Structure 1
């Protein structure tokens, strides 16, 4: 093999490795973005679950309170 041929092959392989490295960096950045998004969505889900739990806890008292309000309006001041 001639020196020129070895050099061309080396430069070609080096360019291929640089391209592959850039691709891997892009994939890594995308992976980090996806992880951050997944974490935000997980936190949002936890917040919604906590809100739902709180609403379920408060619901019985709200319905009872709403019944009293309705009774006051319909009965004109009655507090049953």
Structure 2
């Protein structure tokens, strides 16, 4: 399914849509976190915190098609 459509569904409270969004970026999130901290457990902690922050602030995402870059920015900052 289209990322923008999944974002719209997730914004309306569809947790399954949010899970699909996360599954599409799961590997990239972990690899990015690991490249910063070089520690598996810390990378997993950052990964989980990023998902939580994205879930709680999804309504602030202005361009649904930019979901991947938006969530990577959450992870990095």
Q: What is the TM-score normalised by the length of structure 1? A: 0.30
Larger-Rg structure:
1
Name the structure, 1 or 2, with higher relative contact order (CA <8 Å, separation 6+).
2
Q: What is the TM-score normalised by the length of structure 2? A: 0.31
Structure with the larger helix share: 1
